[in-house]
Amino acid sequence: MKLTVYGSGCAKCQQLTANAEAAARRLGLDFSVEKVTEMNAIIDAGIMRTPALAVDDEILVEGKVPGSNELEALLQRQA
């Protein structure tokens, strides 16, 4: 499973990354994390608000930082 975090690398982006990694680990998923910080790449991905999280190139979260429990439920549906 590929987790992609879109954003500038700010504190919210870092928190989203940490929450997503924690949720994926709790589910025992085999995952990798990619961080996209280049604004043109973010726009090309269709992201209008950061931070955003995509799982296997499907955008699940945009413009907010859900807790790891909420992300765990989202990831479980994707697995």
> Annotated active-site positions, please?
10, 13
Structure tokens at 51: 């931070």
CA 72 remoteness from chain centre: 11
- The angle at the Cα of 9, spanning 57 to 55, to the nearest 5 degrees, equals 15
Number of other CB atoms surrounding residue 48 within 10 Å: 9
